[in-house]
Amino acid sequence: MSDAEIEALRAKLEERGVKYCMGAYVDIHGVPKGKVVPLPHLAHMAHGSERYTGYALDGLGQAPNDDELTSVPDLDRWIQLPWEPKVAWFPSDNEFRGAPYALNTRVALKTQLAEAAKMGFGFNLGVECEIFLLRKTEDGRLETPTADDVLTKPCYDLRSFMDNFRWLDRMAETIDALGWDLYSFDHEDANGQFEFDFRFADALETCDRVTFFRMMAKRYAADEGLIATMMPKPFADRTGNGAHFNMSLSDLQTGANLFACDPADDPRGLGLTETGYHFIGGILKHGRALCAAFAPTVNSYKRLVRQGGMATFSWAPVFNSYGSNNRTNSVRVPAGGGRCESRNADGAVNPYLAAALALAAGLDGIRNRIDPGAPNEDNLYTMSEAERAARGIDFLPQTLQEAVAAFAADPLVEEVLGRELRDEFIRYKSEEWQEYHLTVSAWEIERYSHLF
């Protein structure tokens, strides 16, 4: 923006009652960080006045002796905080000495979107936000806030939905007021779990919205004396929080969906163009490496199981495969086609990082015309190992350690993120695995202390 346009924005915000501007970028985990400036200093912030010691933050690749980073707000994408109208939130990027900082994951996504644009593509993304609304007990346990949310199969349960209506209504009203076009929300498959689905947008916009959604959900839950969490697997005996990525490419000139066709014109019958299938081919080629970004925590891999400690199947993907409206695949083509859904992504995902890598993988599939093969329509959870092997269906990583190894081994990751950001992710996630592995749990003490 020009100085005149920034001044016009400042005047607009002042008229709306804004007193402070919050410039929020994310660390490598997708957690927002930033500073707040009084509204009269908006122009200063827009020109990079806010400086940060990168060594104090996770994944920004700095040592104590390095020059500071700056944060530059995206002035076209601000949101006035619905719960505190005195504050305007701006998604932001890091810069270093006046240039975009490559270790910022939002910058990485913008770089990959520019690569797609060179091919004439826009990248549309919709993320399904699953979230638990819970109460923390005095001894630190998590429990559902309503005593009657106890069904073995609580999915779509209207009684428990209405028991939590005040929080749900506030969330829904705000999402619509923000212009995100909420089209569905419900009680999900686990006790205390809900899902919000709002319309897809360009990938950068959607990632900004998911980041803001998390902050908003936690704020509104705190107002109810509760906590909201997108942690992938808070309970061993309940399904976990997904954040399914629904993806398609558009023609930059016309806006047309380049994945959509009449199912009758698709030999595989799913309603996808060859471009769409090639995109899926790229996702599957790099599927094991992508898993580290889609499911980036130790806890993530307690969600990615067929059943585990639950009474029913988990719905979570464990195979690097695709099919139609079959939720035992990691990539699903929903009824009607026109998009593909990666079901690996969970609530801990850094959406910018995962979107950058997913787009790059899909573009690799298109450039190299990678055929994903025939869609899998069977229940893969119950298929024999021999039959899966005959079809060439591989398992996704089953631990964070395995996922990080696949991430490190795939050359595409370094091509997309650069060596420094790639190595930062590997270092932090390897340390997370090591710390977890060296922790002695209550389960181990209970199981082994009396045996040996």
Strand pairing class (69-73; 87-96): antiparallel
Reply yes or no on whether the pLDDT at 310 is more than 60.
Answer: no
pLDDT, mean of residues 211-222: 98
413-449 tens-digit pLDDT: 999 999 999 999 999 999 999 999 999 999 999 999 9
pLDDT of res. 147: 85
Q: How many Cα atoms are found within 13 Å in the side-chain-facing hemisphere of 285?
A: 26
- d(CA 74, CA 4) in angstroms, rounded, equals 16
End-to-end CA distance of the chain: 69
pLDDT of res. 1: 82
- d(CA 452, CA 448) in angstroms, rounded, equals 6
C-alpha angle with apex 52: 51 to 55, nearest 5 degrees? Answer: 155
The residues spanned by each domain of the chain are 3-95, 129-241, 256-442
| C-alpha radius of gyration, the chain, whole number | 22
246 pairs with which residues across the strands? Answer: 126, 341
Contacts of 267 (CB under 8 A, 6+ apart): none
pLDDT of res. 321: 94
342-386 tens-digit pLDDT: 999 999 999 999 999 999 999 999 999 999 999 998 888 888 889
Contacts of 212 (CB under 8 A, 6+ apart): 79, 89, 91
CATH number of this structure's domain 3-95, picked from the four choices 3.90.79.10, 3.10.20.70, 3.40.228.10, 3.30.420.40: 3.10.20.70
Per-residue pLDDT band at 165 (split at 50, 70, 90): very high
Tokens encoding 376 = 């899998």
Q: Are 97 and 234 in contact (CB under 8 A)?
A: no
Reply yes or no on whether the pLDDT at 308 is more than 70.
Answer: no
127-155 tens-digit pLDDT: 999 999 999 998 889 999 998 899 988 99
- With left for phi above 0 and alpha for psi between -120 and 50, is residue 17 left, alpha or beta? left
pLDDT of res. 384: 87
185 pairs with which residues across the strands? Answer: 196
pLDDT of res. 314: 60
Tokens encoding 248 = 């398609």
pLDDT, mean of residues 186-201: 96
Longest dimension (CA), the chain: 75
Residue of 418, 396, 394 lying closest to 405 (CA atoms): 396
Determine which helix (DSSP H) or strand (DSSP E) holds 264, and give its type and residue range: none
Q: Are 345 and 300 in contact (CB under 8 A)?
A: no
State the architecture of 129-241 in CATH terms. 2-Layer Sandwich (3.30)
Q: What is the average pLDDT score of the chain?
A: 95
- d(CA 229, CA 51) in angstroms, rounded, equals 30
pLDDT of res. 148: 87
- With left for phi above 0 and alpha for psi between -120 and 50, is residue 101 left, alpha or beta? beta
Reply yes or no on whether the pLDDT at 82 is more than 80.
Answer: yes
- d(CA 40, CA 9) in angstroms, rounded, equals 11
pLDDT, mean of residues 212-241: 96
Residue of 194, 191, 195, 193 lying closest to 147 (CA atoms): 191
- With left for phi above 0 and alpha for psi between -120 and 50, is residue 382 left, alpha or beta? alpha
Tokens encoding 82 = 């619905």
pTM, two decimals, is 0.96
Residue ranges of alpha helices (H) inside 47-157 are: 105-118
In the chain, the percentage of residues whose pLDDT exceeds 70 is 98
pLDDT of res. 312: 63
pLDDT, mean of residues 85-95: 97
Q: Which residue has the higher pLDDT, 89 or 450?
A: 89
The CATH H-level superfamily of 256-442 is Glutamine synthetase/guanido kinase, catalytic domain (3.30.590.10)
Tokens encoding 56 = 């104090």
Residue of 89, 107, 109 lying closest to 99 (CA atoms): 107
Residue ranges of alpha helices (H) inside 164-273 are: 165-177, 203-223
pLDDT of res. 313: 66
Per-residue pLDDT band at 299 (split at 50, 70, 90): very high
Task: Tell me which of 140-149, 252-261, 270-279 is least confident.
Answer: 140-149
Q: Are 433 and 400 in contact (CB under 8 A)?
A: yes
- d(CA 69, CA 53) in angstroms, rounded, equals 6
129-241 shares its CATH topology with 256-442: yes
pLDDT of res. 152: 87
Residue type, 317: P
pLDDT, mean of residues 182-193: 96
